[in-house]
């Protein structure tokens, strides 16, 4: 499933089986989030800024997507977060996600309320 938003950035989950084996070590006390940022035409968005803010304590993590539009947040405290993806020339997308204990996953629900 994808995070969809008209004319904006969209996220596509990556299969966890393609992640390095050493990320499995985080299953005892942390979780992670991974995916791919794409635009409304299904093209990957390299060098997009991706932010993840913990709603309980306000902690902010930030990364950039790679050449294939992929991002990874590892070793996160389980809980609720606000995910935001931005890139010059594209509308910012922001959604709520839940991080669970275990290997990195992607919350799979549609992004509401975006316009072109």
The residue ranges of every structural domain in the chain are: 10-99
Q: Is the pTM of this model over 0.85?
A: no
pLDDT of residue 5: 42
Alpha helices per DSSP H over 1-116:
none
Q: CA-CA distance, 4 to 103, in Å (whole number)?
A: 24
Architecture of domain 10-99: Sandwich (2.60)
Q: What is the pLDDT of residues 31-81, one digit of tens each?
A: 999 999 998 888 999 999 999 999 999 999 999 999 999 999 999 999 999
- Rounded distance between C-alpha atoms, residue 70 and residue 13, angstroms: 9
């Amino acid at each position: 499933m994808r995070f969809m938003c008209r004319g904006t950035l969209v996220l596509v989950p990556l299969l966890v089986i393609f992640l390095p084996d050493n990320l499995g070590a985080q299953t005892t006390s942390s979780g992670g989030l991974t995916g791919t940022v794409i635009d409304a035409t299904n093209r990957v968005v390299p060098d997009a800024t991706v932010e993840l803010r913990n709603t309980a304590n306000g902690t902010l993590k930030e990364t950039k997507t790679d050449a294939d539009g992929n991002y990874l947040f590892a070793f996160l405290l389980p809980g609720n977060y606000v995910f935001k993806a931005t890139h010059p020339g594209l509308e910012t997308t922001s959604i709520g996600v839940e991080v669970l204990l275990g290997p990195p996953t992607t919350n799979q629900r549609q992004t509401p309320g975006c316009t072109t």
